[in-house]
Structure 1
Amino acid sequence: MYDPSSPLLRSSAAASGVPQPDAKARFAEDRLLDAVVWCEIEPGETITEADVMERFGLSRAAARAALTRLGYDGWAQPIARLGWQVAPVTGSLIGEILTARRIVEPALAQARLSPAQIDEVRRIGAMLRAVSQQPAHGAVVTFRIYVDEIDGTLLGGIDRFTARHLRKLWHHSARMTRHLENADAGHIFRRDEVFDLVRAVTEQDRDGIVAARHALIDAQERFLMRQLLTNDTPIAPGSGALRRTTDNAATNGRPS
């Protein structure tokens, strides 16, 4: 579900929510990217300029620019005479994203936060405890918004180049998680490590922040792998099993 209030999303909108004239093109590009991240446009779905124009009320030029940006950033690829295919969620992609996060995410321990920001994280932690055990959908959404605020605070405290890279990795993780969640079956990813993160941030415990981030990545990996095991989509050519067969054939001198 698209959440325009998430502090991790980019926006060219003014405070009123209306894009300024000189920012309309970027606003259109961001809106299309957000639709991909939040799975309004499903992984593997093929879209055309006409689809984007109709769905988001864009001009042809804006739709073309937005789709080109998706391709440039690796979110989609062009398919001749068909349009653009949004990158599917695969086990390989999950592995690559989580591996990259394990490398980059410890940088959050170096975040420079003011006393007021630390107090705000402490306040958010208290609110998280109040809603953490409530099963209602609204409580789950509220919990995630508060968690995003903590992540956004940490992200704003590190250098902008690392932050930009990490934000993109988080966008990929969010898309994969939302695509594989099944709310009807109760399969929702929960951020159980966030209270350790709150404690580490408020105590300025850098090792604790790193440990909490690694715990999050490990938990997300277990959740995504478990959800993949319930997915009945056929494995496509290029899977690890096929590559191993090919490699063995080459090693044994047989034609592949």
Structure 2
Amino acid sequence: MVSNIIPFSESVDAGNPADAPRQSDVAYGDVLQAIIVCDIAPGTLVSEASLSERFGCRKAAMRAALERLAAIGMVEPVARRGYRVKAITLRDVNNLFQVREIIELPVVRAAAATVDAGALRMLDAVRAADYVPGDRRSEARFLHENTRFHLLIAESAGNERLTAMLAQLYGEMERLFHFGLALRDRSQEMTREHTALIEALAAGDADTAVKVMAEEHASSKAMVLDAIMRSDTLLDVSLSAARRGEDGDSG
């Protein structure tokens, strides 16, 4: 359920050709990972030729990979120019954080009544992860541990469907977090938030646990919005994409 932090092609056992994936599968995984960690920036125009050269594969394989990425909404075709990587829009940010609040705050409230000592020990073991801003692998490991922390809380609440929904949501939000984390180190702030959350859960204090989680949501959203506002290129792409969406809605 947690997004893979290692490019798909690196997980293949090169010593067993029978298990090797198709080149298009490798290309799909590599480009998807590059988009998620923002090595390929939101709004970037890409082509089969440029990506084939970058990732060392045939154009046909990259064409198939880009078609799959378009099908899941990570890129969109641009006539006679290639593909544009999905922008991070202000609407996306607001919508995703709203859904996160709707799902996760009731989950935390429920977990305060059901979390056990074993779950608290696991939460404590992953609460203090840190990262180096701008180091994509470091950021990816940090986000992996952060997602694990939040899903452990969800699992403690005992509702498998809500846990699955939250896992999917964190997967969709990973690119937002990568973009925000690259600008500043929020690891110590998040460690304090996670420590306060563990203490509230251990005390069975649902109101405080929900308050701490809501504050973490607000801080994470502010980090992402600040990153967008500080990126002239991304802000232009975000606003223009949002306007296109509004035009489509009005039609």
TM range (shorter): 0.5 to 0.7
Q: Which residue is equivalent to 1:251?
A: none
Say if 2:69 and 2:75, in contact at 8 Å, map to a contact too.
yes
Deviation at 1:55, TM superposition (A): 2.2
One-letter amino acid of the structure 2 residue matched with residue 8 of structure 1: S
2:123 to 117, 121, 124: 121
Contact 1:37 1:171 in 2 (8 A): no
Q: Which amino acid aligns with 1:119?
A: R
Contact 2:37/2:178, CA 8 A, preserved across alignment: yes
Q: Offset of 1:220 from its aligned partner?
A: 1.4
What is the CA distance between 1:210 and its match in structure 2?
4.1
- For structure 2, the residue ranges without an aligned partner over 5 or more in a row are none
Q: Distance in 1 between matches of 2:104 and 2:177?
A: 18
Return the alpha-carbon distance in structure 2 between the equivalents of residues 30 and 152 of structure 1.
24
- Give the whole-Å Cα distance in 2 for the aligned partners of 1:29 and 1:238: 24
1:81 corresponding residue in structure 2: 80
Aligned to 1:33: 32
Q: Distance in 2 between matches of 1:78 and 1:223?
A: 30
TM-score computed with the length of structure 2 as normaliser: 0.66
- Measure the CA separation in 2 of the matches of 1:222 and 1:166: 20
State yes or no: 1:102 paired with 2:101: yes
Equivalent-residue separation in structure 2 for 1:86 and 1:96 (angstroms): 19
CA contact under 8 A between 1:189 and 1:220: conserved in structure 2? Answer: no
Give, in whole Å, the separation in 1 of the partners of 2:154 and 2:57.
Answer: 31
Provide, for residues 132-187 of structure 1, a one-character-per-residue CA deviation record: whole Å limited to 9, x for no partner. 7x99999x85765643442354466676665554344324433223334554xxx3
Query: Higher helix fraction: Structure 1 or Structure 2?
Result: 2
The two structures, once aligned, show a CA RMSD in angstroms of 4.2
> For 1:42, what is the secondary structure of its paired residue?
coil
Please list every run of 5 or more consecutive structure 1 residues that lacks an aligned counterpart in the other structure.
1-6, 248-256
Q: Give runs of aligned pairs for residues 16-55 of structure 1, distance below 5 A.
A: 17-19=11-13, 21=19, 23-24=21-22, 26-55=25-54
Shift in CA distance, 182/137, structure 1 to aligned 2, threshold 3 Å: closer
Quote the residue 2:4 is aligned against: 9
Q: Distance in 2 between matches of 1:23 and 1:204?
A: 48
Q: Distance in 2 between matches of 1:135 and 1:39?
A: 15
- 2-structure distance, mates of 1:172, 1:95: 13
Cα 1:165–1:148, aligned 2, differ >3 Å: closer, same or farther?
A: closer
Distance 1:93 1:56, change over 3 A: same
| CA distance, structure 2, for counterparts of residue 57 and residue 9 of structure 1 | 21
Q: More relative contact order in 1 or in 2 (CA 8 Å, sep 6+)?
A: 2
1:203-256 per-residue CA deviation (whole Å, 9 max, x = no partner) reads: 56665554443222211122233344434347555767xx8xxx9xxxxxxxxx
Q: Which residue identity is paired with 1:122?
A: D
Q: TM-score, normalised by structure 1?
A: 0.65
- Aligned twin of 1:150: 149
* Amino acid aligned to 1:48: S
* Alignment check: 8 A CA contact 1:201 1:209 kept: yes
How many residues are matched?
227
Q: CA deviation at 1:86?
A: 0.6
User: Percent identity over the alignment?
Assistant: 20
Q: CA deviation at 1:76?
A: 1.4
- The amino acid of 1:36's aligned partner reads I
Residues 159 and 106 of structure 1: CA distance in aligned 2, closer, same or farther (over 3 Å)? same
